[in-house]
């Protein structure tokens, strides 16, 4: 990852507040999995 890409990622992280919900989805396998975390990275729910 080059410096500019890391800088952009850091800016996005800094803008994340307590009103945001971050959701990640893995659709690469037969079983699709989603995980929701709060702005601090605490796991809220995993579905899959």
Q: How far apart are the first and last CA of the chain?
A: 30
Query: How many whole angstroms separate alpha carbon 20 and alpha carbon 48?
Result: 22
The pLDDT tens digits for 2-45 are 668 888 888 888 888 889 888 999 998 788 999 999 888 889 98
pTM: 0.61
Number of domains present in the structure of the chain = 1
Q: Which domain, by its residues, includes 34?
A: 3-47
What local confidence, expressed as pLDDT, does residue 36 receive? 93
What local confidence, expressed as pLDDT, does residue 1 receive? 53
Rounded CA Rg of the chain: 13
What local confidence, expressed as pLDDT, does residue 2 receive? 62
């Amino acid at each position: 990852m080059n410096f500019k890409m890391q800088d952009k990622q850091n800016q996005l992280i800094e803008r994340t507040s307590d009103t945001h919900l971050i959701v990640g989805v893995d659709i690469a396998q037969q079983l699709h999995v989603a995980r929701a975390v709060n702005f601090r990275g605490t796991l809220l729910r995993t579905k899959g």
